[in-house]
Chains A and B, each alone.
Chain A
Amino acid sequence: MKKNSFVLITLLLTAVVLSSFTSVFADGKTTLVVGFDQDFPPYGFVGEDGEFTGYDLEMAAAAAEIMGLEVVYQPIAWDSKDMELDSGTIDCIWNGFTINGREDKYEWTEAYKDAGQVILVKADSDIETLEDLAGKVVAVQTDSSALEALESEDYKDLVAEFKDLLVVAQYNTAFMDLEAGAVDAIAMDLDVANFQIQDKEDQYRILDEMLQAEQYGVGFKLGNTELRDKVQSALEELVKSGKFAEISEKWFEYDSCVMSICKDEA
């Protein structure tokens, strides 16, 4: 009995060790390891069938196919994204990744999509403009672009007027707070907000006044221009073949492309 369980444990361990050897290195040679936040619909999230899906992940897969690489989706803890990229455990961050304010921190592809930071409130809320947020509790996701915008000089006075700026771990808990009445508004990404209020338009609305307009790109480790260039040309090919428009229409119901090649065509 004791011997049997020992053999069993040894076998189990051997299996796990062996499986770890076959795992991938993020070297951009045979695989494209895409780091993303899996709590970030519609860019990257767990789909109906339980597999990862989303606008950015589908685009990444299409680009990898053109480059002849195997795409690997690696969900990461968003706080650790720089460490993951620096240490080479992921090749790129491709996940509604805002360029503005981070221009010098990563090697970027051309911006491929416009986006922005907005304020989302309950439909019956009396908040209409940014000024109305005075004395209110505003939730925002940690390490997000919305938080960065609020912490910038532009909004210093506005934030000082808030009753509280609540930094939460993820948008989902912020929604629970909003629903429960613990917070009055959420500062978040435009598309994520649009996705969240789908089928719930009677419960939530987005303020017309935007916090910040920004652009999304694919971020690579500083110095890794080789892979960046490859991905850039793959993206351009996707535009030419119409695949880019197809994917963006699927997720946003319009062709989201803002790369120069799209503007030339238009």
Chain B
Amino acid sequence: MSISVMLSKLGEGMITSVLIFTLTLLFSLPLGLIVALARMSKNIILRNFTRIYISIMRGTPLMLQLLVVYFGPYYLFGISISSGYRFWAVILAFSINYAAYFAEIYRGGIESMPLGQYEAARVLGYSESQTFMKIILPQVIKRIIPAITNEVITLIKDTSLAFSIAVTEMFTVAKAIASSEKTMVSYVAAGIFYYVFNFVVAVVMESIEKKLDYYR
């Protein structure tokens, strides 16, 4: 196999990995905030429900969650599934898993805000939702960016788990090429792909961090 064929195959796998990455962030970041708010809710049922949810999501392997989300509809409810559901099962499983981690990061950020700010906002006539959206949340986002970056980078590497339900992302392609071509070159190439991807993400996150650092 020529290098160019190998790279184009890895590139196809990379597109799948990037798609998993982008869609997962798109869904899990907002979902995480909702989960965080539910986790801090005054309603005891909601609060405990999300607590159990987070505990399960963090306490079981992501690979197992992928299998449950994909095969669950058939084995639990007898609904036959199509091959096209594979990709969406990956997005769904990744999103609900990462939302749990993001929720705890959001919660840490929100709870670190001094109570005095809420009091000051009330004195100034802000409503509760205004206080949260205009005063608290912008500061929270600033604070949690480094923690979010950690998770985001882990997510890139976690995309390789998608093959447990037969979604061929980049690492699977690299493995398949390595076994048919009896070569380690594809692993090296995949490693470089991952590193470059992570490097770009790290740079982007750092620039966001700098941009938000307007008080320093």
Contacts and interface: CB of A to CB of B under 8 A. Distances in A.
Interface of A: 9, 13, 16, 20-26, 33, 38-41, 45-50, 72, 74-77, 79-80, 83-84, 86-90, 170-172, 175-176, 196
Contacts, number: 103
Contact of B84 (A24, A40, A171): A24
Given A20-B87, A89-B81, A41 B180 contact: yes
21 contacts: A9-B26, A16-B87, A24-B84, A38-B168, A39-B175, A41-B180, A45-B179, A46-B9, A47-B1, A50-B5, A75-B166, A77-B163, A80-B67, A80-B165, A80-B166, A83-B67, A83-B74, A87-B80, A170-B179, A175-B182, A196-B182
A172 B179 contact: yes
A23 B82 contact: yes
B67 A48 contact: no
B39 interface: no
Q: What does DSSP make chain A's interface, helix, strand, loop or mixed?
A: mixed
Contact of B9 (A41, A50, A170): A50
B31 interface: no
Given A39-B180, A72-B83, 10 more contacts: A13-B23, A33-B83, A46-B176, A46-B180, A50-B1, A77-B163, A80-B165, A83-B71, A84-B166, A89-B82
B contact residues, range: 35 or more
Sorted nearest first, the 8 A-B pairs with minimum C-beta distance are A23-B84, A87-B74, A45-B180, A39-B179, A172-B179, A50-B9, A20-B84, A38-B176
Interface string B174-190: 01111111101000000
Interface string B75-93: 1000011111111100000
Nearest to B166: A76
A77 B165 contact: yes
A212 to B, nearest CB: 22
Contacts of A86: 74-75
Nearest to A172: B179
A252 B92 CA distance: 43
